[in-house]
Amino acid sequence: MRFMFVGDSMTIGRAGDFTWRYRMWQHLNRSFGGPYRIVGPRTELYDTAADAPVSTVYADPAFPDRARKHLAGWGEGWLHMAPLIRETVTTTKADVLLVSLGLIDLGFYTNSTQTALNARAFIAAAREANPRVRAVLMPVIPNVRALSDAPFAAECDRFNELLAKTVADLDSPVSPILLASTPESYDIHSDTYDGTHPGPSGEHKLAASFATAMHQAWDLGGPYEPAA
């Protein structure tokens, strides 16, 4: 089974991060119980000094190159990934998409209605490439901007409602879609390093949400247990 991580800055991570992708790789190694691959066209982290995704400095240098693959970008959202996903799924033969997008869209590019339409376009394009593709979609999670910007917070809430409707409308037995739960007890003061981007505890909580959704709905993997 081929897994692909799709996301924005919270997924690609910056130089020196572990990333929730790393936490999920550890989880799959412990609990998947069969052969799997992590696929994607990119492997790098974002380098803030270079202002470009060119870093290979993961917090754990033992994180193997084959597991670093992803389709994530700093400043990229549903708007940017929808045009890429068909070709990427075709090329990588991805079976399961773990998607965390939306915050950057609402913050800079599109309102909640258009963002939800872009999510639908993304799913349609992925299915054109693989009619049996599965996807787990993460809602927009708590972030610092929503604390001080009430209209933005309202757009986040509305998008999450529209995303839940999208999952309900488009889920199918052939190509199932899940809505992950907002990470339990997620605290932007302790689970992020700047109010938005996850630190180590936040990475574990994001990975746990994806892992729990797959385990409970599809019996893929086991319950999430952080590595020692």
The single residue listed with the structure tokens 């995704």 is: 53
The verdict on residue 82 lying in a domain is yes
The verdict on residue 63 lying in a domain is yes
pTM comes to 0.97
Q: Say if CB 6 and CB 81 are below 8 A apart.
A: yes
Residue type, 91: T
Q: What is the Cα–Cα distance from 92 to 4, expressed in whole angstroms?
A: 9
The verdict on residue 29 lying in a domain is yes
Where does the chain show beta strands of DSSP type E? Answer: 2-7, 37-38, 45-47, 52-55, 71-72, 96-100, 134-138, 177-179
Look up residue 25 and give its two tokens.
């790789």
Count of domains forming the chain: 1
The verdict on residue 228 lying in a domain is no
Residue type, 225: E
What pLDDT, on a 0 to 100 scale, did the predictor assign at position 136? 98
Look up residue 114 and give its two tokens.
């258009």
The single residue listed with the structure tokens 């929808």 is: 82
Mean pLDDT in each 10-residue stretch from start to end of the chain (228 residues)? 98 98 97 94 97 98 98 98 98 98 98 98 98 98 96 98 98 98 95 97 98 97 86
CATH number of the CATH domain containing 85 = 3.40.50.1110
Which residues neighbour 90 within 8 Å (Cβ) at sequence distance 6 or greater?
129, 130
The verdict on residue 225 lying in a domain is no
Which of 107, 110, 62 has its CA nearest to residue 82? Answer: 110
* Strand pairing class (134-138; 96-100): parallel
The verdict on residue 7 lying in a domain is yes
The verdict on residue 223 lying in a domain is no
The verdict on residue 226 lying in a domain is no
What pLDDT, on a 0 to 100 scale, did the predictor assign at position 228? 60
Look up residue 172 and give its two tokens.
């199918």
For residue 150, give its domain range. 2-218
Task: Give the chain's end-to-end CA distance (angstroms, integer).
Answer: 26
Q: What is the Cα–Cα distance from 45 to 18, expressed in whole angstroms?
A: 10
